[in-house]
Structure 1
Amino acid sequence: MKLINHIKKHKIKLAVLAVLLIAYGFCLPKQLFKDPTATVITSKNNQLLGAQIASDGQWRFPHNDSIPQKFSTCIVQFEDAYFYKHPGFNPISIFKALKGNLSSGEVKRGGSTLTQQVIRLSRKGKSRTYFEKIKEIILATRLELRDSKEAILTYYASNAPFGGNVVGLDAAAWRYFNRDASQLSWAESATLAVLPNAPSLIYPGKNQERLLNKRNRLLEKLLDNDIIDSLTYDLSLAEELPQKPYPLPQIAPHLLQKVALNQRGERVQTTIDKRLQEQANRVVENHYNLLKQNEIHNAAVMVMDVRTRKVLAYIGNTPTDNAHQKDVDVIDKPRSTGSILKPFLYAAMLDQGELLPNMLVADVPSQFGSYSPENYNKEFDGAVPASHALSRSLNVPAVRMLQQFGLDRFYHYLKALKLKDLNYNANHYGLSLILGGAESNLWDLCKSYGALSSTLNHYSENSSEYYSNEFVEPSFLASEKIDFGKKSADKTLFDAASIYLTFESLKEVNRPNGNESWEFFDDSKQIAWKTGTSFGFRDAWAIGTTKDYVVGVWVGNADGEGRPGLVGVQAAAPILFDVFDLLPNSDWFSKPYDEMQEVAICTKSGYRASPICDEIVTKHVQLSGLKTQACPYHILVHVDKTLSFQVNSSCENLGDIKHEAWFVLPPLMAYYYKTKNPFYKALPKLRMDCMGETSVVMDFIYPKNSNTIFLPKDFDGRTNELVLKIAHSKPETTVYWYVDDEYMGSTTAIHEFAILPKPGKHLITVVDDLGNERKRYVTISE
């Protein structure tokens, strides 16, 4: 009852008190500091990789929850010796300051504790009046009730001024001593502890003696308080003061730029391996110094851990100049792919059972409408094993394989790889898709090659099971977890055997001879790698993978200017292998036996062996490869005892006829194949005394169908002739030549015929003695 009466009697006072308590409770903002901060990225081990200055032009790192012990000790000893004892203000210090200021008639001493200084820093711009000082004391006591002493120290360390545009201990340690704050010596910590009290002392060449005296007095105090010993004191006195600010590290500037897009003003721990990044930077710089002599100014390198999909090195460009767009991050920019997509077509055809690794594919002059692909060396092999066509990056076989497989089917595989720069439909790209008709970027290509490697790893390590999310995006953020999805018996895109056989082919890529980096490359490293060169020598690619790492390289000019020599194997591959030399060796991929089966293979054709194949080898192939046809290039022929002529019962005793399996290619393939394969034995002729004919085939070598041809002139003004060529399975047969149904002449043995047609469209017809006929349209331009 008395309590109630007391409350009623003093209700106004109690109400006022309640209001004051509530105001006191809410007087302190939840977030003390709202200043913009620098964007800071660190390595996977939290080592500084780079920083981007805050939007207000200050080097102010994001708030750090920890503070090094040396600096903590120094700042307390210098600024506030009773910091751990007072409630936010020190009455004795305030009294002494007030007394001194009143006697002098001006403010000479503040008497502020570290807690009060934190409040003053957070209320920047406020005049230093006695009324403001009272506010600081109230807010300081509130801060002491809310946060720990250690937290208050971190507020101070992160926001105190250190001279010029340097704010906070973390930025100051790097700007003045070029190292992390945790690595500062006692002398360096003492230097930074005295700076916020008079930040102008740090300017080079100014007030160095005053700064030195303040530092040394603090060191002496540390000695007197038995915080440091005499030896440490003497060594600290001998240390020099900083003379000028250091530039902050810029070890991964383009990654910093990328992080700042979405996490500006934050401290971000990345997955970058600092040592590897620095070494790769030097590799790129060394090659850039060579490449720029050929006016090639830009390059990008990315290194990824296959097992974690974490980015270990990220070099978005060379250390070129602004005129050559040094700030452009090329890693995520679309560029023409060149031949870098060929392994995906090879794997897709294996996966669908339309190819075996060494199956012969045609490499002959080919024309698809108005599109006529050419090999880099302008030569043809006639027929070449598919694996060699891939490892040698032959263009004509690749286009023919794409036509056989189907443009839309292959496009479906590429879309499943999540190549984000594949923006048009399949018909837009046409067959040139496989030779660089589309665009992609280094990030997506490294992701795709890494996904293939990871698929193979997971299959071998998880009882022949796949993961449902193999083609997951890589990450450069340490905080992100990669989710590979659930295990499944079903493949994600390519089966493990197809990937393994593709890598086996890519492992056999021939390294060129020369004085370049190749001679330093350790051949014991087994790497599946591929190069690519875009049309017009604008983009050079090289991507390689092992069980553990993917390295991707792009070289070119950011503005798209082509340069002679800007080809994958010359410009990009040496960088690729120099970077691989920085990485640990990896074992080769395990063979996925559960997805493979031993099959008899025809040695000469690479097809499944037919009963009449003369040379057979047993190999492991993908299970889908069992659907492929048996060898079509071996036929059974009847020959005489010397194997020189074909014979039959009309001219030879049955007992003297030998039945031989003969490797026979179609005429156009055979024409070029025998130039590269001197042991190729053409089908023997039918002996003249025998009745009957063997099948005869002929085809044009030149011109290609619907070609438009320009006939150059000699120095004397005479127009050069057009030389027509055909291949005939029986060269001795006479062939008759017609132009627009007008007879021009005949050839025997060597079937080449020169004509001088007028400008316009012409029909060329050839007919042999046996009635076989071929036609070709050409257009002669003026």
Structure 2
Amino acid sequence: MRRLTHFIKTHKKKSIVLGVLLICYFFCLPNDLFKDPTATVIMSKNNDLLGAQIASDGQWRFPHNDSVPEKFKVCIVQFEDEYFYKHPGFNPVSIFKALKDNISSGEVKRGGSTLTQQVIRLSRKGQARTYLEKLKEIILASRLEFRDSKENILAYYSSNAPFGGNVVGLDAAAWRYFNRDAYQLSWAESATLAVLPNAPSLIYPGKNQERLLEKRNHLLKKLLENTIIDKLTYELSIAEDLPKKPYALPQIAPHLLQKVAQKNKGERIQTTIDTKLQERVNHIVKTQYNILKQNEIHNAAVLVLDVHTREVLAYIGNSPTDRTHQKDVDIIDKPRSTGSILKPFLYAAMLDAGDLLPNTLVADIPSQFGSYNPENFNKEFDGVVPASRALSRSLNVPAVRMLQDFGLDRFHHYLKQLELKDLKYNANHYGLSLILGGAESNLWDLCKSYAALSSTLNHFSETSSEYYTNEFVEPTFMASKRIDFGKKSTDKTLFDAASIYLTYESLKKVNRPEGDESWAFFDDSKQIAWKTGTSFGFRDAWAIGTTKDYVVGVWVGNADGEGRPGLVGVQTAAPILFDVFDILPNSDWFAKPFDEMQQATICSKSGHRASSICDDTEDTYIQISGLKTEPCPYHILAHVDATETYQVNSSCEELNAIKHKPWFVLSPLKAYYYKTKNPFYKPLPKLRLDCMGENQVAMDFIYPKTNNSVFLPKDFDGDTNDLILKIAHSKPESSVYWYIDERYVGTTKDIHELAIVPKAGEHLITVVDEFGNEAKRKISISE
């Protein structure tokens, strides 16, 4: 220390110069050696390559990789720089030999560069290969040796060395030339890539194969001589073929790659994708696409979520169609008409609010709401139907009537809490069509919502009947992200666990179809809550299903919005849904959330809480909020004779001969449609003629509907076709008198249908029965 101090004092100028040189030496090396643009690369959760997007400069240059496979490390050191682990960044002996050879030949024949120097040269691209440049490389190489470890220097080299054409770096080269990860390369393949940066032009297909083979085998021979590989390995290695042509990089999840590149361009991102599952779902979509395209249906998307982690396990943004049909469009996050896919949320909301019990009867009759006239898919009506059955059969009219009863604004508020991003307008903008596809949403948000409901049930059963405050969190496809479900709470997040469970119980019954659909794809051993949807005009087909562990969402249609006959959820999207569930592990069914349920006596026929006169009841668990629903309004205590043929009273029958019997009674219009599906329905008997008292009589129009506009076409003879008027009457044998604009036009009995040919314009139809009951209906006629 004293000598250093003495030297500085006695040689100030030299000390200053030396100090400046040391400072320059210290700062001569940039922090980032390489600033070239890199490819966007996505990996699976098991680090399999899912796909890559070429760098902006047109090079297949993967992001820097700190790890170098051992085989390549040995090969490159043996081929390029045997003393790599011993020199300080440059090798004086090699430099002297190269200088001697170059001077004697009069040209540059040897470089004598170490791997460290080659890293520097690669980082200083475009520099002329002069002796001055060589001196700079030596200085910078020694500085790099001080700053980084030997392993890091090898990583710099393997990530940035040229491997022929537009391939840069070992990772890209391994995939382009051998179609596998660098860690899976054999000794022969590693040796091939080790010799390439020294002469990258050798790799061109069909050219220089003999030179490349000679270089590779020479390196393998050296490995044998240095006892790095044994004789058998050597013989097997030299027998391996050279790469003939570059491979296309894997494109297992191309649309997810697009999505990642939007925010993480040029990065290597590990995703949550399960490679095997992704590949199998790709195959399912391709198989179904080949069937669907025969009906000119060209696009499909599938999303698979893990309920417990909210990770994306498979992401298929589109079918393998062509550019004409927009194969590059990622449909998973695109807004599409929802069809019936929102119906389960309305059902759960009504259960949660205590406005409904699972099997409460809801009306399924011709209905008109202003100018809106919803219809069921099969154009038929049931009169009344249990709410759960209306959901499992996806009946439209009951759904609209339920929405009207529940309140449009109220339901819209629930949907906003689900954070459906494409629900951008207020409730009045959508109207009652909101429940049938009047709104738009996307596959991502819908799957997210179903996963949140399933997770709510799981967490409720796993904890002490508690909820999590952040249940409706966004799913993730980034492996580095862990979902935070928030804190535990005794307060529900949106729907209580019982309402969700009862909704899923109804959706599980969708697995028992009644029509003529082909359901060969359904595996009855799997318990799945699922729902399909079809948008107006057959433009969008949906199918979303959930188990305790997984959510699978499917959309099928045309990206340009073109509708097609047969583009129906149950026919096009459901087969894909169940093919995907078939390759997923089986799941147990959700545990019943008893702490949010209460046992109650329910009327079996009406689904309401049983009144004192309900004759057929059952004890079952309902949501606690359902205890405030009204008792059964459909049963009355009828006073009938011994044969139950007539109603009687004390004016015509002895009191001890009168039978008091609970009777299930529907209004005439509901009964008209109900008895077509329920042949054992017994209407309330009529009052016996010898009895005195008021008879309960009711009637209602079947056709025309309220404020209906009717077009009457003409036949081939030019005559205007008849308009058939129709009513339902609780006593069909009664006489009914028909009037149009207060002008009598006819009488009907038993079958209350009347054919008329009214003139164009507005008309008032009036019907009056023999008891003086009256009903009116306005109608507009056009020809």
TM bucket, shorter chain: over 0.9
Structure 2 residue 203 is matched with structure 1 residue 202: yes
The residue correspondences of 1:127-526 to structure 2 (distance < 5 A) are 127-510=128-511, 512=513, 518-526=519-527
Which residue in 2 is equivalent to 1:718? 719
Q: Deviations over 1:549-571 (max 9, x none)?
A: 00000000000000000000000
Q: Deviations over 1:666-719 (max 9, x none)?
A: 111111000000000010011111111222111110111111111122222211
Structure-1 separation of matches of 2:268 and 2:475 = 20
Q: Deviations over 1:14-54 (max 9, x none)?
A: 11111100000000000000000000000011110000000
CA 514–701 in structure 1, closer or farther in 2 if over 3 Å, else same:
closer
Q: Deviations over 1:169-206 (max 9, x none)?
A: 00000000000000000000000000000011111100
Structure-2 separation of matches of 1:512 and 1:81 = 73
Structure-2 separation of matches of 1:3 and 1:691 = 131
CA 473–5 in structure 1, closer or farther in 2 if over 3 Å, else same:
closer
Structure-2 separation of matches of 1:775 and 1:537 = 37
Which residue in 1 is equivalent to 2:576? 575
Q: SS at the partner of 1:508? A: helix
Structure-2 separation of matches of 1:382 and 1:514 = 19
The residue correspondences of 1:99-118 to structure 2 (distance < 5 A) are 99-118=100-119
Which residue in 1 is equivalent to 2:15? 14
Which residue in 2 is equivalent to 1:775? 776
Letter in 1 for 2:382: D
Which residue in 1 is equivalent to 2:529? 528
Bigger mean CA deviation after superposition, 698-707 or 339-348? 698-707
- TM normalised by structure 1 equals 0.99
Which residue in 2 is equivalent to 1:540? 541
Q: Which runs of 5+ in 2 are unaligned?
A: none
Structure 2 residue 753 is matched with structure 1 residue 752: yes
- Give the deviation of 1:725 after TM superposition: 0.7
Please say if residues 611 and 631 of structure 2, whose CA atoms lie closer than 8 Å, have aligned partners that are also in contact: yes
Please say if residues 634 and 662 of structure 1, whose CA atoms lie closer than 8 Å, have aligned partners that are also in contact: yes
Letter in 2 for 1:574: P
C-alpha RMSD of matched pairs (Å): 1.2
Letter in 2 for 1:427: N
Structure-1 separation of matches of 2:504 and 2:535 = 22
Q: SS at the partner of 1:288? A: helix
Which residue in 2 is equivalent to 1:561? 562
Which residue in 2 is equivalent to 1:639? 640
CA 219–517 in structure 1, closer or farther in 2 if over 3 Å, else same:
farther
Structure-2 separation of matches of 1:626 and 1:76 = 79
The residue correspondences of 1:71-110 to structure 2 (distance < 5 A) are 71-110=72-111
- Give the deviation of 1:521 after TM superposition: 3.2
Structure-1 separation of matches of 2:331 and 2:232 = 53
Q: Deviations over 1:374-430 (max 9, x none)?
A: 000000000000000000000000000000000000000000000000000000000
- Give the deviation of 1:4 after TM superposition: 6.2
Which residue in 2 is equivalent to 1:686? 687
Structure-1 separation of matches of 2:515 and 2:397 = 27
Letter in 1 for 2:13: I
Please say if residues 517 and 578 of structure 1, whose CA atoms lie closer than 8 Å, have aligned partners that are also in contact: no
Q: Which runs of 5+ in 1 are unaligned?
A: none
Q: Deviations over 1:58-113 (max 9, x none)?
A: 00000001000000000000000000000000001001111111111111110000
Structure-2 separation of matches of 1:781 and 1:116 = 91
- Give the deviation of 1:497 after TM superposition: 0.3
Q: Deviations over 1:695-754 (max 9, x none)?
A: 211111011111111112222221111111111111112111111121111111111111
Structure-2 separation of matches of 1:450 and 1:8 = 76
Q: SS at the partner of 1:620? A: strand
Structure-2 separation of matches of 1:513 and 1:642 = 36
Q: SS at the partner of 1:553? A: strand
Letter in 2 for 1:21: L
Letter in 1 for 2:574: A
Letter in 2 for 1:212: L
Please say if residues 511 and 518 of structure 1, whose CA atoms lie closer than 8 Å, have aligned partners that are also in contact: no
Which residue in 2 is equivalent to 1:607? 608
Q: SS at the partner of 2:697? A: coil
Which residue in 1 is equivalent to 2:741? 740
Structure-2 separation of matches of 1:697 and 1:517 = 42
Letter in 2 for 1:433: L
Letter in 2 for 1:474: P
Structure-1 separation of matches of 2:191 and 2:129 = 27
Structure-2 separation of matches of 1:69 and 1:172 = 16
CA 238–146 in structure 1, closer or farther in 2 if over 3 Å, else same:
same
Bigger mean CA deviation after superposition, 715-724 or 672-681? 715-724
Please say if residues 176 and 246 of structure 1, whose CA atoms lie closer than 8 Å, have aligned partners that are also in contact: yes
- Give the deviation of 1:514 after TM superposition: 9.7
Structure-2 separation of matches of 1:759 and 1:125 = 87
Structure-2 separation of matches of 1:498 and 1:314 = 30
Letter in 2 for 1:772: N
Letter in 1 for 2:505: E
Q: Deviations over 1:280-320 (max 9, x none)?
A: 00000000000000000000000000000000000000000
Structure-2 separation of matches of 1:256 and 1:515 = 41
Structure-1 separation of matches of 2:706 and 2:698 = 18
Bigger mean CA deviation after superposition, 12-21 or 711-720? 711-720
Q: Deviations over 1:558-613 (max 9, x none)?
A: 00000000000000000000000010000000000011111111111111000000
CA 517–616 in structure 1, closer or farther in 2 if over 3 Å, else same:
closer
Letter in 1 for 2:533: G
Q: SS at the partner of 2:332? A: helix
CA 779–515 in structure 1, closer or farther in 2 if over 3 Å, else same:
closer
Q: SS at the partner of 1:331? A: coil
Which residue in 2 is equivalent to 1:549? 550
Q: SS at the partner of 1:367? A: coil
Q: Deviations over 1:308-342 (max 9, x none)?
A: 00000000000000000000000000000000000
Letter in 2 for 1:568: G
- Give the deviation of 1:781 after TM superposition: 1.9
Structure-1 separation of matches of 2:472 and 2:4 = 73
Structure-1 separation of matches of 2:467 and 2:141 = 60
Q: SS at the partner of 2:373? A: coil
Bigger mean CA deviation after superposition, 349-358 or 731-740? 731-740
Letter in 2 for 1:626: L
- Give the deviation of 1:8 after TM superposition: 3.9
CA 234–553 in structure 1, closer or farther in 2 if over 3 Å, else same:
same
Please say if residues 538 and 560 of structure 1, whose CA atoms lie closer than 8 Å, have aligned partners that are also in contact: yes
- Give the deviation of 1:462 after TM superposition: 0.3
Which residue in 1 is equivalent to 2:705? 704
Q: SS at the partner of 2:705? A: coil
Please say if residues 511 and 524 of structure 2, whose CA atoms lie closer than 8 Å, have aligned partners that are also in contact: no
Q: SS at the partner of 1:519? A: coil
- Give the deviation of 1:766 after TM superposition: 1.1
Please say if residues 446 and 551 of structure 1, whose CA atoms lie closer than 8 Å, have aligned partners that are also in contact: yes
Structure-2 separation of matches of 1:543 and 1:717 = 51
Residues matched between the structures, number? 782
Please say if residues 297 and 564 of structure 2, whose CA atoms lie closer than 8 Å, have aligned partners that are also in contact: yes
Q: SS at the partner of 1:509? A: helix
- Give the deviation of 1:438 after TM superposition: 0.0
Structure-2 separation of matches of 1:577 and 1:595 = 31
- Give the deviation of 1:761 after TM superposition: 1.4
Please say if residues 521 and 578 of structure 2, whose CA atoms lie closer than 8 Å, have aligned partners that are also in contact: no
CA 535–744 in structure 1, closer or farther in 2 if over 3 Å, else same:
same
CA 714–3 in structure 1, closer or farther in 2 if over 3 Å, else same:
closer
CA 711–516 in structure 1, closer or farther in 2 if over 3 Å, else same:
closer
